């Protein structure tokens, strides 16, 4: 609430009109529908779960209004969130900033203005991490995890991999769990995640 009120004060000082300041994702959707604002500023995490409610709302709003400018604030770099947001609409009129940038008032207002005008603004730290991930998605894997992933790519089962590496099947399962986590693959059907991991391996 303090951050929200602080933002309202900053925006007012720089000549912007705040038509609504809300505290949860449902209220955000309702406010956008009621006021049709020129730009939306939202946190990634909002009540009631404080997970990714704000981001989900932003993605949904952009699905309905692809040209709705949205600036999302996050406490930490969430590469998957940033990528998902940038994939909405045509990739314009969207921003993803770390909350630390809000303390730099002039830079924040400049970023908001650029987003409102259809520009794209991404926090430099987010860019660095996204580029690092795209250069080599396997960089975080240990040599053993790379070895396991290579055998998965050959279509081998956990039992077959365990036999080839002379380790237990439980050890193979643990390695695969680590691989899926490091590749930032979302929870889903186990087979589907293995396929995505193999695709990451083949693209690297």
Quick: pLDDT tens for 8-53: 999 999 999 999 999 999 999 999 999 999 999 999 888 888 888 9
Quick: pLDDT tens for 77-92: 776 777 778 777 776 7
Burial of 175 (0-12, 13-18, 19+ CB in 10 A): buried
What pLDDT shows up at residue 127?
Answer: 66
- Of 165, 134, 168, 131, nearest to 151 by C-alpha is 165
For 141, the 3-state DSSP assignment is coil
- How far from 131 is each of 5, 128, 134, CA to CA, in Å? 34, 5, 5
| Residue 131 predicted with pLDDT over 80 | no
Token couple for 184:
């930032």
The proportion of the chain whose per-residue pLDDT surpasses 70, expressed as a percent, equals 88
What pLDDT shows up at residue 19?
Answer: 96
Overall average pLDDT of the 169-190 stretch: 82
Could you tell me the pTM of the whole model?
A: 0.63
Q: Quick one: CATH architecture of 2-133?
A: 3-Layer(aba) Sandwich (3.40)
Comma-separated ranges of CATH 1.10.10.10 domains in the chain: 143-203
**Cβ atoms of 138 and 129 closer than 8 Å:** no
What pLDDT shows up at residue 22?
Answer: 95
Domain 143-203 CATH assignment equals 1.10.10.10: yes
Q: Provide φ and ψ at 40, rounded to 5°.
A: -115, 135
Mean pLDDT of the chain: 85
End-to-end CA distance of the chain: 43
Token couple for 182:
């490091």
What pLDDT shows up at residue 136?
Answer: 67
Comma-separated ranges of CATH 3.40.50.2300 domains in the chain: 2-133
């Amino acid at each position: 609430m303090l951050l929200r009120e602080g933002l309202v004060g900053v925006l007012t000082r720089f000549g912007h009109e705040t038509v609504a300041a809300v505290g949860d994702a449902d209220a955000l959707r309702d406010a956008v529908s009621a006021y049709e604002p020129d730009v939306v500023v939202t946190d990634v995490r909002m009540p009631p779960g404080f997970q990714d409610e704000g981001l989900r709302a932003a993605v949904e709003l952009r699905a309905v209004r692809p040209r709705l400018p949205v600036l999302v604030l996050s406490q930490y770099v969430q590469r998957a969130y940033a990528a998902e947001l940038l994939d909405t609409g045509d990739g314009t009129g969207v921003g993803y900033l770390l909350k630390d940038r809000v303390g730099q008032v002039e830079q924040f207002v400049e970023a908001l203005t650029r987003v409102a005008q259809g520009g794209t603004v991404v926090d430099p730290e987010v860019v660095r991490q996204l580029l690092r991930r795209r250069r080599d998605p396997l960089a975080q894997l240990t040599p053993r995890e790379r070895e396991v992933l290579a055998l998965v790519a050959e279509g081998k089962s956990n039992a077959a991999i365990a036999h080839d590496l002379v380790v237990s099947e439980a050890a193979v399962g643990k390695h695969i769990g680590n691989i899926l986590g490091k590749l930032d693959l979302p929870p889903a059907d186990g087979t589907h995640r293995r396929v995505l991991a193999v695709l990451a391996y083949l693209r690297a």
